[in-house]
Amino acid sequence: MKNMKKANVVMLSVGEQQYPQDYLAGVISELEGEVKKMDCNIVGCYTVMNFSDAQRVADELSGKSVDLFIVDFVSWHITTNIMHILKNYRDVPLLIWAIGGFTDKTGKLHAPAAGAGITGFIPIVKEMGYKYKIIAEKPDSAHAYDEVASYIHSVSCALTVKAARIGLIGYADMGLYTCAYDKTALFNKIGIDIENYDGYRIANLMDEFPEERVKETMEWIRSTAKAQNNIPDKALERVTRLYLAMKDSADGRNLDAISVKCVDGITKLGFNPCLAQSLLADKDVSVICECDAYGLVTSILLSTVSNQTSAFVEHYEVFDKEVLVGVCGFIPRDFIDGDFEIKSANLGEYNTGISNVSRLKCGEITYGRFYSDKGQFKMFLQHGKTKPLGKWTELGWEEPTPDFPAALLEPEMPIIEYLDKVPGQHIIMTFGDWTDKLREVCNLLDIEVVE
């Protein structure tokens, strides 16, 4: 994501003052040195062995912004000391990191008892409602720096999602209930804000671009995409102006996602927005059709976690073990298998636009959909794969009909169960398996994961 946040991290190394301080100080120094190299803002690194240490740290942290506490137990620790610091930070997640003991030359294991420390600590933070992750190292093992860096990244992802901004040109295309949203609840519970732009404003903006910029962009599009048939200059100019209007709106308002009303919106101007949206969509700007706000939230989540482009597809046909998923003319460039292909195509009397008819790249995917269920935000989350599909088209397009981007999705559950659980006609996908990471980020955001 272009607006990726860095977490403000405080490292609290906790132990017992009666244990050998030289040994514990050596461990702490090594841990702090490695954490300081990680992708975050280190607010402070503190050692807490007794109540006096805890009081000093509490005073020093007063008024500072903290997004994550790394609480590394280098030995047993009296819980009341660390809780004296953390009691005023109920909303800040904790990374609870237990450091294992060591075996000497005779084969005797020396146990600083970090296991006792965390098992005396975890029940308290659980009861008090803290969010936390546990890392428990074995004796003599290498320190789990990769796991620490990964959780810091998860916290940064959650911060980034909370700060995300969505722009919608219109509301709930075709009056679709699954495209409706609660702006206040989304902002209140997660922090994502939605700006709504009138289609009239976008139509006016389309007319304001100088001919030179429009022609230059048209030439770029023709050089970028391979035309399957004759693309009239008039049709290309209209979609180019829409692309520029949406791009300027996204850039000017520093948006992380944007969508435009299609069937009951742009197509009333005589063309579809598919090519414009295909050109806009990448890992930094999420794009979806039909003013699907919660689909955009899903896309922001997937792109933030994976640092990859995410794309939406819609369900079209159901088979025994697969679902045909596709889009009638939209696909981000990162999802194209082969050439970026476009075609002038008509649907009905008024839609004479340009469709993206590129092949959809297939493989291992993470997919799902963010939604609201009785006031609770949830995430339908799945891991699966897509397979290539033969030619297909949506009913109603003029001959010769376009072959739209599509694939066969194979859910990891029976088809009827999948159809019963999937919370909308649109799902969002990105390549690879990001399910564990998304569970972690959703937990930080109070989004219940449904699998």
CATH code (residue 12): 3.40.50.10940
Q: Would you say residue 371 lies in a domain?
A: yes
Looking at every residue in the chain, the average pLDDT score rounds to 95
- 138 and 172 in a common domain: no
Token couple for 44: 């402070």
Residue identified by tokens 């005023």 is 88
pLDDT tens column, 253-309: 999 999 998 888 888 888 889 999 999 999 999 999 899 999 999 999 999 999 999
Report, as an integer, the average pLDDT of 359-367: 97
Give the whole-number percent of the chain exceeding pLDDT 90: 88
Q: What's the rounded Cα separation, in Å, for the pair 11 and 55?
A: 15
Select from 160, 175, 209 the last residue of a domain.
Answer: 160
**414 in any annotated domain:** yes
Number of domains in the chain: 2
Whole-number pLDDT of residue 304: 98
pLDDT tens profile 314-353: 999 999 999 999 998 999 999 999 999 999 987 765 556 8
The Cα 137–Cα 313 span in angstroms is 42
Assigned domain for 1 exists:
no
Partners of 387 in beta bridges:
408
Radius of gyration of the chain (CA): 26
Let me know: does 94 contact 56? Beta carbons within 8 Å. no
Cα–Cα distance for residue pair 217/383, rounded to 1 Å? 38
pLDDT at 124: 97
- Does residue 130 sit in the same domain as residue 272? no
Give residue 349's pLDDT.
56
Based on the domain organization, do 191 and 340 belong to the same domain?
Answer: yes
Q: Which of 160, 184, 215 is the last residue of a domain?
A: 160
> For position 345, what pLDDT does the model report?
84
Residues 276 and 178 in one domain: yes
If asked whether residues 217 and 98 sit together in one domain, one would say no
Contact predicate 410/387, CB 8 Å: yes
> How many of the other CB atoms lie within 10 Å of CB of 7?
24
In a domain, 77, yes or no: yes
Structural domain boundaries, residue 151: 8-160
Answer yes or no: do 344 and 364 share one domain: yes
Q: What are phi and psi of 261, to 5 degrees?
A: -65, 130
Question: What are residue 380's phi and psi, to 5 degrees?
Answer: -75, 115
Helix 435-444 vs helix 293-306: angle between axes, to the nearest 10 degrees? Answer: 120
Q: Cα(415)–Cα(418) distance, rounded to whole angstroms?
A: 5
- Residue-level pLDDT at 379: 98
pTM: 0.94
